[in-house]
């Protein structure tokens, strides 16, 4: 959060509100990790913050909320951020149905997968709304008739594009290196690359991986990895930016949300992106870069299959799609991905000398969030 402000030249005391996307606020998160992180990072006590949870689009939703406040004239500078520590998610003891129910047998739940504990809602159980995310990816694959070969091919594409972007220094443009202290086994070092990228993987290696339980085509290789990560971007009104002589990277043009049956979690971005384009008064062929979230390769392919149905037959050109790879390779720390995508898209537009970009993020429970930006 501090690095984002320093990089663009905004003093910490000029930030008027902070949003922090986070799905599982474990350990020091203590409910509102945005506020605690701001205090720990050295922001003045007067800078407020809020934690936003819309699963995978948490930080993107926070960024959109700030843009709405700026557009309404209620905010000058805002900081949208996101974080997820998937490796340190806590454990929760279950509670009974009745308030203050007597102690009895209890179960430990991994909050990364089971929420904060407690009995599941019977109405949601009846419609299988708590369906495993990897099962929804299989549902999408079945719905669009995707083959294991094309699902793995998309995963390979993600790793190859991400490896190229890493090796060329493209990804370094948007990464803030972190100094890791020495340990008993390793000296101090600079941590500056995402660990999940497998530039040496092959179609044969991916094909050899076994399907995960309750699926026929989903594997560890064609799904996004479990990651820890954080990201942040600064948003400002035109007047606020001019007051500090700042040169913005891009402007928010339009946004949209959409929701559908949780059984087909993953394809809602296709509908949200179509809505956002309509609100932006843009045609699909005017978009120079498309960022489609890759929770699973099958899910991203499902979005690409559904987009022509929503955009009068338009198909996203391969050279405009996720040019630096996606979450299958880079990883998907839930709360951090949204603002990471905004920065990735804005940076890519600048590098290409292009004008318009759109991103779409799927959300557990069957939602989708989209954002259109214009490079400046």
Residue 5: active-site member:
no
Which distant-in-sequence residues (6+ apart) come within 8 Å of 26 by Cβ?
85, 88, 89, 90, 111
Active-site residue, selected from the candidate residues 56, 159, 161, 293: 56
Residue 362: active-site member:
yes
Active-site residue, selected from the candidate residues 22, 161, 293, 362: 362
Q: Give the dihedral sign, CA 60/275/132/160.
A: negative
176-208 b/e (C-beta count within 10 Å ≥ 16 → b): eeeeeeeeeeeeeeeeeebebbbeebeeeebee
Name the token pair of 143. Answer: 């719905």
Residue 56: active-site member:
yes
Contact criterion met (CB below 8 Å) for 301 and 223: no
Which distant-in-sequence residues (6+ apart) come within 8 Å of 128 by Cβ?
262, 263
Positions marked active-site: 56, 332, 362
């Amino acid at each position: 959060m501090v690095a984002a402000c320093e990089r663009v030249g905004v003093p910490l005391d000029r930030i008027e509100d902070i949003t922090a996307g986070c799905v599982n606020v474990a350990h020091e998160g203590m409910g509102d990790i945005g506020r605690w992180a701001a205090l720990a990072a050295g922001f003045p006590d007067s800078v407020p913050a809020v934690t936003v949870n819309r699963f995978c689009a948490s930080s993107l939703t926070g960024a959109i909320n700030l843009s709405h406040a700026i557009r309404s004239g209620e905010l000058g500078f805002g900081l949208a951020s996101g974080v997820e520590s998937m490796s340190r998610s806590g454990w929760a003891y279950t509670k009974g149905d009745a308030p203050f129910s007597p102690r009895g047998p209890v179960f430990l739940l991994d909050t990364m997968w089971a929420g904060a504990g407690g009995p599941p809602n019977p109405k949601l159980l009846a419609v299988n709304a708590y369906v495993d995310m990897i099962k929804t990816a299989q549902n999408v694959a079945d719905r669009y008739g995707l083959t294991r070969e094309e699902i793995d091919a998309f995963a390979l594409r993600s790793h190859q594009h991400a490896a190229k972007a890493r090796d060329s220094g493209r990804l370094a443009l948007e990464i803030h290196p972190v100094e890791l202290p020495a340990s008993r086994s390793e000296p101090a070092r600079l941590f500056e690359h995402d660990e999940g990228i497998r530039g040496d993987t092959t179609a044969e290696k991916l094909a050899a991986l076994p399907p995960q339980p309750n699926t026929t085509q989903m594997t560890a290789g064609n799904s996004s990895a479990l990651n820890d990560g954080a990201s942040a971007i600064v948003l400002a009104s035109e007047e606020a930016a001019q007051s500090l002589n700042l040169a913005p990277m891009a402007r928010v043009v339009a946004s949209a949300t959409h929701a559908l049956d949780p059984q087909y979690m993953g394809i809602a971005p296709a509908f949200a992106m179509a809505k956002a384009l309509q609100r932006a008064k843009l045609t699909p062929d005017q978009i120079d870069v498309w960022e489609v979230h890759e929770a699973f390769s099958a899910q991203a392919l499902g979005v690409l299959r559904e987009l022509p149905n929503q955009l009068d037959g338009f198909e996203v050109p391969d050279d405009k799609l996720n040019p630096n790879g996606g979450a299958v390779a880079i990883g998907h720390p839930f709360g951090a991905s949204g603002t990471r995508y905004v920065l990735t898209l804005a940076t890519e537009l600048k590098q290409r000398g292009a004008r318009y970009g759109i991103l779409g993020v799927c959300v557990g429970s069957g939602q989708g969030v989209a954002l259109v930006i214009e490079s400046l």
